[in-house]
Structure 1
């Protein structure tokens, strides 16, 4: 445990930013600290940058239509916020260059606005004094960051020398663990994935000029709407041995939260539903995915997984095998809460490695072949 908590700043305080802050206060130290033997949180949010006014930030922290009331105290303290007695400085800058990140004494910026996805964007934060940036979205290219991390899969590849890291996407965090388990145990020939995703704020409530994708100009709560997805590309960055074997599409559905992946797999050998479910159930019960992957065969609906911190919950009751090798799976995930928890896990591990003395927990700085 460091001599002080790691100081982090949130850039952007929308759905992801607020869930990250709330998850930190609700869960304490979280998965990463637990596995490293710490009994207390090692992260402390000291600053938030967002263009909204202070009363709105305070109100939306206290009350959330999806996740309920904040289970603590939230107050306005002058031009800043005070959460559970912790003073959090509020900044209102439209660009990263307008902030002296070094003066904040932070160890990491959690970029949660979703507005930046290139290496040039990341360099803007670094040039303004940010020591490191963890992005809450997949980047435009693998080369845009020093590493793309899915916690439970490749966080051990971090050397500590990285300055720009991506937390991938909520769908990648859901799909990659399942695919890795089955590819290692049986082998995957080809993969087709449909993301069934709850509505997002890039869609209007009623038809409106809202997006260059004309489908996204349509009312989010009146239709099932196909949208573009970079999921196949994101999976290939984490599991490069599957490059060229994956296709993906996505539809948005009229729900507030919780999504699922409908995954079809052509296996490398004959199998059956019992074997597939056994492999995924065992991966959820022990090993590096315990606490990240869950398994159920209960008759669930999507709302049952609201506020669920797992990266993926396999619904074994929906596993199907057609012929000897064509497998279909269903995996649930809270696209807000699960992802926010993984972002905290990656942040904590990243900072522990980055600040460890040489020879005391740092890994080799060799190229990250599994994620670049």
Structure 2
């Protein structure tokens, strides 16, 4: 059975979902039937075809109202501010991928359901009353057929939670602290301009900028045992894609560097293959651009202090990896029993 998806909001994640679908060759199993985006359709087609981070799209893209044509497939375009007015029932939409970044509540998602969609998947952390928050590879088995409103978490929870789970399963974790070193985002300024967050009034290309993060709360939502046991801070750096995460954890048993890396490497080639990757090559951030994994461990940067304090460097393409997980989670939502 072909799954029918609609995308609401065609920004960085929305466009990368379309690219990921076609580049992975899954379009026989997953069909995007509609995109709702308030921007000009010519711009929609242009930005899908040409991308500064990910290069030129390998598939033909054109626009002929009211359709966006991708590799011979016709995707209907809408420009509707009110999701409840979208024709999801007529299009038999299985899952709406809610990618505007504006909506995050159950009430927001209900508008898509009222319009006829069967399920909704947020591309960002949502309010606590959604049916589930999923980090694919860790807890998608918790999905039930009755779950209609689901969050895919954030790119950073998808990056760090698998690593935490592997370490906790192997050694037990007492507590931890994380620094997210995140690429610039479109809520920042090109040159100094007004913003409610005074740090984000400053030019993104000229500073390392501390920002608020709710990552610790996101970890707790996926792994409740770690309530109040993790803290996190975040900074934005002057690059346009790829994020690094500096993870420090205190373990419940003595370890050494070799043992830690061995556990992570085995997970990458075992039960978390395709989600977690492990490398010891001398790589830099740009080398992880367009990497579909949720997280990549740089084993050369692993450190162990006093046998129980472990520090790791974890990379992710915060756009491409997350876009691939959106597709994975959407499929899992419909397969849930």
TM-score after normalising by structure 1: 0.89
Residue 129 of structure 1: how far off its partner (Å): 2.0
Structure 2 Cα separation of the partners of residues 250 and 41 of structure 1: 39
- Which residue is equivalent to 1:200? 185
- Given the alignment of the two structures, is residue 268 of structure 1 paired with residue 252 of structure 2, yes or no? yes
Within 5 Å, which residues of 2 pair with 1:65-104? Answer: 65-104=52-91
Residues 260-301 of structure 1: per-residue CA shift (max 9 Å, x gap): 1100111111111111101000000112x1111100111110
The answer on whether the counterparts of 2:92 and 2:116 sit within 8 Å (CA) in structure 1 is no
Over 4 Å off, 4+ runs: none
* Structure 1 unaligned blocks of 5 or more: 30-39, 354-361, 363-372
- Given the alignment of the two structures, is residue 317 of structure 1 paired with residue 305 of structure 2, yes or no? no
Structure 2 Cα separation of the partners of residues 42 and 155 of structure 1: 19
Residues 153-176 of structure 1: per-residue CA shift (max 9 Å, x gap): 011111111110100100000101
Residue 79 of structure 1: how far off its partner (Å): 2.4
- Which residue is equivalent to 1:53? 40
Matching residue within 131, 136, 140 for 1:146: 131
- Given the alignment of the two structures, is residue 131 of structure 1 paired with residue 128 of structure 2, yes or no? no
- The 3-state SS of whatever aligns with 1:234 is helix
How many residues align structurally? Answer: 337
The answer on whether the counterparts of 1:42 and 1:348 sit within 8 Å (CA) in structure 2 is no
- The 3-state SS of whatever aligns with 1:103 is coil
The answer on whether the counterparts of 1:146 and 1:165 sit within 8 Å (CA) in structure 2 is yes
- Given the alignment of the two structures, is residue 172 of structure 1 paired with residue 157 of structure 2, yes or no? yes
Residues 68-115 of structure 1: per-residue CA shift (max 9 Å, x gap): 001010011232211100011000011212213212211110001111
- Which residue is equivalent to 1:232? 216
- Given the alignment of the two structures, is residue 251 of structure 1 paired with residue 248 of structure 2, yes or no? no
- Which residue is equivalent to 1:156? 141
Structure 2 Cα separation of the partners of residues 124 and 89 of structure 1: 19
Residue 323 of structure 1: how far off its partner (Å): 1.2
Residues 309-335 of structure 1: per-residue CA shift (max 9 Å, x gap): 000000000001111211100000000
The answer on whether the counterparts of 2:190 and 2:204 sit within 8 Å (CA) in structure 1 is yes
- The 3-state SS of whatever aligns with 1:298 is coil
Structure 2 Cα separation of the partners of residues 78 and 18 of structure 1: 18
Residues 139-161 of structure 1: per-residue CA shift (max 9 Å, x gap): 1x321x10111110011111111
Higher mean alpha-carbon deviation, 256-265 vs 91-100, is at 91-100
- Given the alignment of the two structures, is residue 107 of structure 1 paired with residue 94 of structure 2, yes or no? yes
Residues 98-139 of structure 1: per-residue CA shift (max 9 Å, x gap): 213212211110001111111111122222222110000011
Higher mean alpha-carbon deviation, 222-231 vs 100-109, is at 100-109
- The 3-state SS of whatever aligns with 1:313 is strand
- Which residue is equivalent to 1:189? 174
* Structure 2 unaligned blocks of 5 or more: none
- The 3-state SS of whatever aligns with 1:19 is helix
RMSD of aligned C-alpha atoms?
A: 1.0
Structure 1 Cα separation of the partners of residues 200 and 334 of structure 2: 38
The answer on whether the counterparts of 2:241 and 2:317 sit within 8 Å (CA) in structure 1 is yes
The answer on whether the counterparts of 2:257 and 2:304 sit within 8 Å (CA) in structure 1 is yes
The answer on whether the counterparts of 2:92 and 2:117 sit within 8 Å (CA) in structure 1 is no
Structure 2 Cα separation of the partners of residues 142 and 274 of structure 1: 39
Residues 183-210 of structure 1: per-residue CA shift (max 9 Å, x gap): 011011111000000000000111001x
